[in-house]
């Protein structure tokens, strides 16, 4: 399978956007997962619902909400551009942000499942030994949930490679700037005689998705085995 330079550019851009989305979303996703698993506070159910909204809302709606909020005339987008010179709409950074928002619940769910499997008695024992909240999380909780964190990050990366609706709505379909792999496939299907291009890119997309899912499962198992946890 030989791709043209433009097609390779779309593949590289997809990999870059998906990676940036995971880097952007992973720290807050771990924090939110910890709050949902361990916290007891008013509005917890509402926070849980808001976190998982991207899973049930049409991606186009998510992209439109980002456009309204972070567009050049949006309540957040206008100050960002005027005060800091930061423009997200129709940029690669905007594509990464849209992808991060869509993949955020996947990381939260994976980390939260890992947290639910951690014995609270281990954290309680560390507390009785004088470990503070941060120390307990870094030295006890984080190593135990590491397989879930890694699996969630890889799954989010694989999902980010296929994000379409939110990206095209918020970042548009600009070749070399925001035209990721799914958007390049869409553009090819709208071009006369573009079936061969679409087929090649679809094959690459399929291979990357399968590789990502297999890697997530393998990495989770390897890390769990290294930590001495049972592997299912």
The answer to whether the beta carbons of residues 127 and 171 sit under 8 Å apart is no
Domains of the chain are 5-226 (1.10.3720.10)
**Model confidence at 229, in pLDDT bands (50, 70, 90)?**
low
Residue 3's pLDDT band (cuts 50, 70, 90): confident
Per-residue confidence (pLDDT) for residue 120, from 0 to 100: 78
- pLDDT tens, residue by residue, 124-165: 788 887 777 778 888 888 888 888 898 899 889 989 999 999
Mean pLDDT along residues 9-26: 94
- For residues 202 and 215, give the distance between their C-alpha atoms in angstroms, rounded to a whole number: 20
Lowest mean pLDDT among 39-48, 83-92, 209-218: 209-218
What are 164-191's pLDDT values in tens digits? 999 999 999 999 899 999 999 999 999 8
Q: What is the pLDDT of residue 165?
A: 94
- 109 DSSP 8-state letter: H
Q: What average pLDDT does the chain have?
A: 88
Q: Is the pLDDT of residue 53 over 70?
A: yes
Which of 2-11, 91-100, 124-133 shows the lowest per-residue confidence on average (mean pLDDT)? 124-133
pTM of the model: 0.89
| Residue 23: CB atoms within 10 Å | 13
Distance CA 59, CA 49 (A): 16
What is the structure's pLDDT at 230?
58
């Amino acid at each position: 399978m030989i791709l043209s330079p433009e097609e390779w550019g779309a593949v590289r851009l997809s990999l870059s956007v998906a990676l940036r989305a995971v880097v952007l979303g992973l720290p807050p996703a771990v924090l939110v997962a910890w709050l949902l698993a361990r916290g007891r506070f008013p509005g917890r159910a509402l926070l849980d619902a808001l976190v998982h909204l991207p899973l049930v809302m049409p991606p186009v709606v998510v992209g439109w909400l980002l456009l309204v909020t972070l567009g050049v005339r949006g309540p957040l987008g206008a100050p960002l551009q005027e005060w800091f010179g930061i423009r997200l709409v129709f940029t690669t950074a905007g594509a990464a942000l849209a992808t991060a928002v869509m993949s955020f619940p996947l990381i939260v769910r994976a980390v939260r499942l890992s947290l639910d499997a951690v014995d609270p008695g281990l954290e309680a024992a560390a507390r009785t030994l004088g470990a503070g909240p941060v120390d307990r999380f870094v030295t006890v909780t984080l190593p135990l949930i590491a397989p879930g964190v890694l699996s969630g990050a890889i799954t989010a990366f694989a999902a980010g490679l296929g994000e379409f609706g939110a990206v095209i709505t918020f970042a548009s379909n600009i070749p070399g700037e925001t035209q990721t792999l799914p958007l390049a496939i869409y553009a090819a299907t709208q071009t006369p005689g573009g079936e061969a291009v679409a087929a090649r890119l679809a094959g690459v997309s399929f291979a990357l998705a399968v590789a990502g899912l297999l890697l997530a499962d393998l990495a989770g198992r390897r890390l769990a085995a290294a930590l001495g946890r049972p592997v299912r």
